[in-house]
Amino acid sequence: MKSVKKFINKILKKIAAFLNKAYDRDWYGHL
């Protein structure tokens, strides 16, 4: 159970980082 939680957290962090990069790109593109 703990390993599954760790795995999910890792994926969520990767998604969050990806979204942050996408938002940054969008934001700079609009400037």
DSSP H stretches of helix in 1-31: 2-30
Question: Could you tell me the pTM of the whole model?
Answer: 0.58
pLDDT for res 8: 96
Per-residue pLDDT of the chain (31 residues; tens, 9 = 90+): 789 999 999 999 999 998 888 877 776 666 5
Q: What's the number of CA atoms in the CB half-sphere (13 Å) around residue 22?
A: 6
Q: In whole angstroms, what is the distance from residue 23 CA to residue 17 CA?
A: 10
Distances (CA, A) of 16 to 1, 2, 3, 31: 23, 21, 20, 23
